[in-house]
Structure 1
């Protein structure tokens, strides 16, 4: 447990919150309860659900479960909370993806390391709501546990919210800020949406997951068609889009692989049952790279954890929180308190920093390990011509659609003739997450 001295608590520029479990609201205006900040208890914070509109979705009753000590492994905690039938793993579609992903255990090792940064926070919130722990694995399918990723359709973040759905669940979006890429806010919003879908489909989690992917209206139409024909209306019998037909089996395949890791040659990263992340409340613009450097950390440590701030500078008018490594919370709190308010100088997005996103920051070790920096790529401008797409432009310049979208802070793949794009030539290692 982190202790904060009295002088730090009285610092007028910041309000600290140490948790990592529980997902806070994304606020249109920063909260100022009083002129002198106080340290809030995590229990108060976790009760403030992220992305929830007051009049929208009634929450399911929260369930209390036995408390596990910090010596317990978070992966084991995930496994103990599985609720979906293990028989699904025998389905041919699930086995297809078990075999597909199982051929590359090294990649799954890497994904498990990336997941371990967010896992405690997500599973805590899933359990708090009484939901199946399989849902904690959903970012494997959605984003490969990369909080700073866009799809071709403009979906963003760990949980891949499209713009309209994100706004519907309280995730604000502006040029300099995108709450879909706030891991805490997006987790709360995603779980609220999944609870609503589960209620819509009478407690059937497979149908709820399918609806999360392709929309509840599409799933309901297919159910109605089958019912009219006297056909079964389970997920496996619906005529859904190909992506959705594969989406649910992918999740169930990850469940099978991760829960039986030794059988498939997978080595899960060590994940003690404690929060790796904390949240810090601030009321001024903060240069995240400068804060990390002054705290003796790698420059992109805070940028990688806070991709919602698209310029690398916090925007209190949209959110007065940042995510930070819990073990460095005290020193970062002191540094941020001493920093002057940052200017609006715009940084290139983190994809241009030259860091390999697949080997993400390791949080919670005794040293903050950042992937070895790659040489920075040269940048040039491409003017969009009629008929061009992001895919064709990416291929022409040897990069990926995802990298183009990140580097140009685009939230959708739509282009306008004459639009100018910064193109990363020689973008080695760029990964297309479409």
Structure 2
């Protein structure tokens, strides 16, 4: 069934808002936006385009079900490839969609290759670009996501931020405040929406035929995810991280949801013997509700995921980020997150503090309240109706 809805009001005939999803984090961010656009009075017409950048069919299907995300109107089925090939293929397949549906704007979320690729197509065809989760910066240009973020923000006409410091980042890059709206964090909308339906950790381990005895440890259990190339693509780096995780597991049992890339590299580098199955339970990739349940009950989460940094802050669960930087500094400044990098002493010291009851408590940041998508839908409607997108296009015409 199509997600498009007609919106005919006196003097108004908007084309659809093309909403783009491409990889797992996009699904969590777009689901509440689509609900908010449908609930807005009048509703905003939507065309949901899945680029197929996230190519695991089973995982994609589970995410759509867990988040009650409507099925895409269009699936470009791009699949995997190098950054250049994937970006180019998304652009090639997305351009005819823009030509056919004549959207009022193209809305993109986050920082994956699909985000930049679809934004480039839109701006080159004179279609306004709306970037949700704008202004986040790690200041590490070795990260492909950082390049995607910077370039997408530069060509966007309306930018929605998750935290107030993001607007300062944009200002320093020459983007006027008139194009920016602080709306809050739509990722947290999904946490609030899904928490009551989250799968219990015990149920998840049972379904996976995993040893659930780790859940009865007096200190609880930790959750681990690793997927970034800088952590998992180099044998010595991955060996060192698994060694530290083994030391953590000697104190606190760990549940390790293995990304396919990570599992493949552990096997390829011959590192499986570093994992003690009695202390570290390995799971296949988990659905959104399963991960939400695992994190909700955890003593600590160790991760290199940007999204999990935000989710643990919203849940009030201590998070140790196995990276040297973060594009989500508010999770460190106000939330439960600590940057520990790959430093053995920093990781073990932080775990010890948490187990001693001295873990970072933090607080939930402003507008991380489950209503960010509603604010975005209301502002986007007013912005589209005001004629500002057309004015922005005219001002940028040579």
By the TM > 0.5 criterion, same fold? Answer: no
1 or 2, which has the higher strand percentage?
2
After TM superposition, the score normalised by the length of structure 2 is 0.27
1 or 2, which has the higher helix percentage?
2
